[in-house]
Amino acid sequence: MLGGVALLAVLFSIYLIFAWVPTERMMGIVQRIFYWHVPVNIVSFLAFGITAVGGALYLWKRERRWDILAHSSAEIGVVFCSLGLITGSIWAKPIWGTWWTWDPRLTTTLVLWLIYVAYLMLRNSLDDPDRRARFAAVFGIAGFADVPIVFMAIRWWRTIHPVLFEPGRIGLAPSMLVTFIVGMVAMILVFFYLLALRVGLENLRSQVASLKAQRAWDQGWKNST
């Protein structure tokens, strides 16, 4: 059900982007990437926030389901953050004349991506499940501190990124705002659909591991008798 709704939202978003919303006068057709570029970055913030919350709940409850949620959300968050960096580079080339510049927003986003790639690498480097979950939880919570820095970078430092949303002012025409909102909803639905799939897969993996362990124990007990 959720997958079907997400697909419809994505298709509707594509229609609005390429067939309904007018072309921006200054940047031209390349500006249309904005309607997914910003949403995938925001969804990555959501994903890393869930990772931090899941880690905190694991440290409190010591229940594996929270570690699974944190891990799954981090993996998907890295994917969305990667898409944000890639689409940003595609947008930057014709507008700024370069694929990359050490702009504060870009730099802090790259740091965020590196933090959660390191989070995933940390998980793969530890064999003990409880130790892995505890270390990852602390790392995931600490890493989230970069999210507000990314968000505020264009307000704290001189940057080439525009400030589109401020209290009392929205720097978008109505049709552009509608297209942006639909893109935002579509990316959120895609994220939660992928998260549900990833959590379900990890739960199945845990059940298989438990069954294998039980079978090995039973086999060992039979051999001993």
pLDDT for the residue 174: 86
Cβ atoms of 18 and 32 closer than 8 Å = yes
Residue 5 forms part of a structural domain: no
pLDDT for the residue 168: 52
pLDDT for the residue 217: 60
Residues in the chain, pLDDT under 50: none
Residue 21 forms part of a structural domain: no
State which residues form the domain around 210: 31-220
pLDDT for the residue 35: 92
Q: Which amino acid is at 161?
A: H
Structure tokens at 205: 């993996």
Using CB atoms within 10 A of its CB, is residue 61 exposed (0-12), middle (13-18) or buried (19+)? exposed
Sign of torsion over alpha carbons 70, 150, 88, 91: positive
Residue 155 forms part of a structural domain: yes
Number of domains in the chain: 1
Residue 168 forms part of a structural domain: yes
Residue 24 forms part of a structural domain: no
Residue 139 forms part of a structural domain: yes
pLDDT for the residue 216: 61
pLDDT for the residue 222: 61
Residue 17 forms part of a structural domain: no
Cβ atoms of 139 and 131 closer than 8 Å = no
Residue 39 forms part of a structural domain: yes
- Rounded to 5 degrees, what are φ and ψ at 102? -80, 55
